[in-house]
Amino acid sequence: MLFYLNHRSSPDAPTVQVRVLESAALPNPEPQTLYLFPGVQSLETLDLSDGSRLILLGDPVFGDRARAAGRVTNWHDGELNLTALFNEIRGHCYWFLLKKNSVRCGSSFGAIYPIYYQSKDSSTRLSSASFFLAGQTDPGRLDRRNLLERLLFNYPLFGTTWWTGIRLLGTHRWLTLSTDGAKEERAFGLENYFGHGFHSSREVLDELAEIFENECRIFLPDEPFAVSFTGGFDGRTLVAAARKTGRVDFLTYSFGMPGESDVTFPAAQAEELGIRYWPINLDDAYVHDHALKSALAFVQLSEYNGNFGRAHYHYAAQQLAQKKKYILTGNFGSELFRAMHQPGVMMTEALIRVFEAHDASWKDYLRQAAGRQASAFFRTEMDALIADLERFLHARSDLDLNQQFYCFVLEEIFRKYFGPELVMQSHLLRNRTPYLSLRFFEALNKTMWSGLHARLFDKQKNRRMKGQVFYSAFLRRTDEQLYRMPTNKGYSPADVLESWRHPLLLARVARQKFLRRETGDSNAVETYFRKYQRDLAQRIRANEHQVLMQSGIAQYIETSAPVSISLEKTIHLFSVAAGWSAAAKSVKPLAPFQTA
């Protein structure tokens, strides 16, 4: 999937035309032409009442397609209404509103699919692919601020990209292109859907389960599909939703090293349920024949926003695409229900400090976390980053800390952490994620089961488990068999929901803690990375880039001796360095006497 537009903002510029491509090859794109390449995705057009067209690129999921065109605009002024758009059209897609003298564009709820743009002089170029866009214009210098953000938070923040001249359109914003130029506008207030979190009755829980059941029914494609089925709660809830509709034309799957619970649990339970299951084994053959190629493909297809540690996601998508066009996954589920509480790839300690501190101490922590060498090297960029974080917090100062953090989760973490995975998959198949639905999000936030209303960074496991109450209630409503089956946590959904079973739950948690034996490398990440670490270093050539040398990144990439950082951090540094190296190829040579 790809789109590209070079828009000229002048009164004599012709109306934008649309051209649908049969391949992603675009040798000489012309101005005022919106090029669309769906690939394995779809292309839909809605004719609106004022004569304008709404084009949808990706995997739009309609509640009722016949009524959608009449509901996505305001009745009084004909203006596009993002709330209505998100409610009527679910799924992950781009949208383009074409009028006679303007083009407006944006992305679906959550803005998982990115829009990159560059405004210069009287021209604005925009695309779904930042590297493609960089190849069509002068992208500016490599952005050291973007590099700093990746080092501190594992992903860039706000609108920065690899280059200073290219920006990322903000979440729930639209970009308007007209004769007056380009204008990015905030068009949807997420905080208006945060609710109060007071509802906690049995009736409300049943109503919430009913809403999610209806949403899942809408998300199910008309043709056969695959459902992610692991040992946890997210996936089995979607399996139950599919079974409740009476569908039998779906395949369940999971991936992992042979013998891991995420493979053995669903395999045994699928057989008991009488549904089809396909294990995607991350075995020796995968490590030897596929892992490196999939690692490289993942980062390339994700615009180098992905991570070498997620090679198995590309491999799984590649395998699934040979069997099905659609998959349903539990992405975003746990993050909506569970109070995030500990550092990891999704949320670093640096990010926790920003939202947890009641004073300005987080600023000093960011400078220290960068390290002495990097802190000195990125001094100017650090000051700008801190200023933008202050602006983010100040703009939401009327919200409590937890609400401020969940604004960041929905506007930054979801698209920056899950986004690369879904962008990569969009080249191979369509991933539908029912948990990321505005209707469900709004309903959930009225109840106590939303993570939004949990204690910020709560580490008490019994309180963090409250989100499992919803899963359990849904399973009780939709699938008695799955409701009684144990998860790989050692207990069943029934143990969570039925109070008389809570002593059993505690006993089973304790038993699982002491008896469960996993390899610690369930997705073969360490196995493959250690095998190909030197090969990756030679491909990256970090010592050829001055910024990677001066910031201290290159020393970790080039050394063959063990270093005192975790495997997770090592993989991250390799991924960041690979992106910087790739982005450098698009930068135009500097004029004499200029320095980067």
**Distance between CA 346 and CA 568 in Å, rounded?**
12
> Which helix or strand (DSSP H or E) is residue 55 part of?
strand 53-58
Tokens of 109: 């709820």
Task: Report yes or no: 161 and 146 within 8 Å, Cβ to Cβ.
Answer: yes
304 close to 568: Cβ distance less than 8 angstroms: no
DSSP lists the bridge partners of residue 366 as none
The pLDDT of residue 505 is 67
Which pLDDT value is given to residue 571?
A: 94
Query: Hey, what amino acid is at 193?
Result: Y
Task: Quickly tell me which residue has 């914003």 as its tokens.
Answer: 173
At residue 318, the 3 state secondary structure works out as helix
- How far apart (Å, rounded) are the C-alpha atoms in residues 200 and 463? 14
Q: Which CATH architecture has domain 2-188?
A: 4-Layer Sandwich (3.60)
- Cα separation of 47 and 99, whole Å? 11
What CA–CA distance (Å, rounded) separates 94 from 34?
13
Helix (H) or strand (E) holding 430: strand 430-432
10-residue stretch averages of pLDDT, the chain, 596 residues long: 94 90 88 96 94 96 93 83 96 96 95 96 95 95 96 94 97 94 92 88 93 97 96 91 95 94 91 96 96 97 96 98 97 81 77 87 89 82 94 91 89 95 98 97 93 72 69 95 89 83 67 62 93 94 92 82 75 96 84 40
Contacts of 552 (CB under 8 A, 6+ apart): 371, 373, 374, 377
Q: 3-class SS at 36?
A: strand
* Gyration radius of the chain's alpha carbons: 24
Residue 429's φ and ψ, nearest 5 degrees, are -160, -175
Cβ neighbors of 12 (< 8 A, separation 6 or more) are: none
3-state helix, strand, coil in the chain (%, to 5): 45, 15, 35
Helix (H, G, I), strand (E, B) or coil at 285: helix
Q: How far apart are CA 582 and CA 573, in angstroms?
A: 14
- Token pair 């590099």 is found at 147
Q: What CATH number matches the domain at 193-339+417-515, 3.40.50.300, 3.40.50.720, 3.40.50.620, 1.20.1050.10?
A: 3.40.50.620
Q: Are 423 and 113 in contact (CB under 8 A)?
A: yes
Give the integer Cα–Cα distance in Å for 406 and 485. Answer: 32
The reported pLDDT for the residue numbered 446 is 94
Residues 6+ apart with CB under 8 A from 48: 54, 69, 72, 73, 78
Residue of 227, 223, 267, 243 lying closest to 434 (CA atoms): 227
The pLDDT of residue 591 is 43
Res 358: pLDDT: 81
Q: Are 484 and 494 spatial neighbours (Cβ–Cβ below 8 Å)?
A: yes
What pLDDT was estimated at residue 347? 85
What pLDDT, on the 0 to 100 scale, is given for residue 490? Answer: 81
Tokens of 557: 């990439």
Residues of the chain with CATH 3.40.50.620: 193-339+417-515
Q: Are 104 and 80 in contact (CB under 8 A)?
A: yes
User: CA–CA distance from 74 to each of 50, 178, 591 (Å)?
Assistant: 11, 21, 51
CA angle 341, 344, 348 (to 5 degrees): 85
